[in-house]
Amino acid sequence: MNFAVPKYLTTVTFFIGFMMLSTTGTSLVLFPPKDIAGMLRNDTESINSTSTDYGHIVREFPAAVFNPTSPNDIASLILFSNNNSDEPFVVAARGQGHSVRGQDLAPEGVVINMTALSSGSRIVVSESPSLGSYADVGGEQLWIDVLHATLDHGLTPVSWTDYLYLSVGGTLSNAGISGQTFRFGPQISNVYELDVVTGKGDFITCSSTKKPKLFYAVLGGLGQFGIITRARIALQPAPNRAKWVRLLYSNFSAFSSDQELLISTSGKMERDGFDYVEGLLLMQQGPLDLSFYPVADQPRIASLVNQYGIVYTIEVVKYYDDSTKDTVDKVVEKLTKRLSFVPGFMFEKDVSYEEFLDRVRNEEKMLQSLGLWDIAHPWMNLFVPKSRISDFDSGVFKDILLKQKVPAALTLIYPVNRDK
């Protein structure tokens, strides 16, 4: 595992009324306002826990960690940084630390521990004539908690990420992409309003009609235009269960054509189409995760992978509830009947809606038990135009990963509609 080695170690000492930050060759004395001085921490545990992220590739030590009790505290910290007599110090908001290249680190600066805002009710479900159902959610809240809180009202957000133990502010600062994106767009396309603390320390409420430039800059803005402290998220009625299907392909052209067919029809016919469309690779050099499939079928799936080197998997889901439980099987049969997967290699599960959305959690627990979760996680997301996706398959999947026997770990591939 490779880490960026810090050029020096930072030791921090607190004195009454001011903070002294000492580093090799430098010394910086700060006088934080009384209202936020007690929220700054520089103990070893706080510093070390915020010196790296999920990627475990970059390591940078902050001078302190800030634990706000309200968005106003965050504004006060940023104003303090801007008014520092020497120069503004680096400030980085951190939710679950799920960046992979150190984006939420603050070398020699201050990391804002957004989870400190979690006290009290920060998920409120409401309804209005103009918006319908929505939830006002603190930026520090986890999507899994948003799911639980909205399900209590029979409601759910419409667009998700594959992993739910991420903060709302974190995914909305990126995009929030998953298998529902082809229909509803990413999570950032399903937000009505934001509360934001800007780089000037201003606390601003914005939307598509109120300060729209700030609204659209912050959504997907990688935290560079403001810190999200609240988001108003669109909701819809929640289903009860999910038909979860995987179909295996030996031919990339058939695989990609069928995926494109599914998002074109499902996007237009919500009632009769699939609600979720993704795809993934099973590769000969492994690691080969067959845990989704029945144990009795795993040997023949492994044989198929060995025969072709790469097996392409379409993963689709159809949600249903009591009103559609008698017709859901016919809908799935109709949608899969015209697809060109390898005959006999269609596999299905029937699970609760929550179990499907929270599916990655069990994989995380397994990796944690094996000591494989807190390791380097290089991860890349790419948007490839439809006209070049076949070249990507031949040039990357086959000529690089397969021929050079590069362990690929998890590789997802699925289309989204450009107009979403």
Q: Which residues are catalytic?
A: 98, 162, 278
Whether the ω angle into residue 287 lies within 30 degrees of 0, i.e. cis, is yes
Contact 250, 314 (CB under 8 A): no
3-state SS of the chain? CCCCCCCCCEEEEEECCEEEEEECCEEEEECCCHHHHCCEECCHHHHHHCCCCCCCCCCCCCCEEECCCCHHHHHHHHHHHHCCCCCCCCEEEECCCCCCCCCCCCCCCEEEEHHHHHCCCCEEEEEECCCEEEEEEECCCEHHHHHHHHHCCCEEECCCCCCCCCEHHHHHCCCCCCCCHHHHCCHHHCEEEEEEECCCCCEEEEECCCCHHHHHHHCCCCCCCCEEEEEEEEEEECCCEEEEEEEEECCHHHHHHHHHHHHHHHHHCCCCCCCEEEEEEEECCCCCCCCCCCHHHHHHHHHHHHHHCEEEEEEEEEEECCCCCCCHHHHHHHHHHCCCCCCCCEEEEEEEHHHHHCHHHHHHHHHHHCCCCCCCCCCCCCCCCHHHHHHHHHHHHHHHHHCCCCCCCCCECCCCCCCC
For residue 339, give the nearest of 213, 264, 255 by alpha carbon: 255
Q: Using CA atoms of 80, 83, 84, 86 in order, give the dihedral in degrees to the nearest 10.
A: 160
For residue 73, give the nearest of 34, 47, 121 by alpha carbon: 34
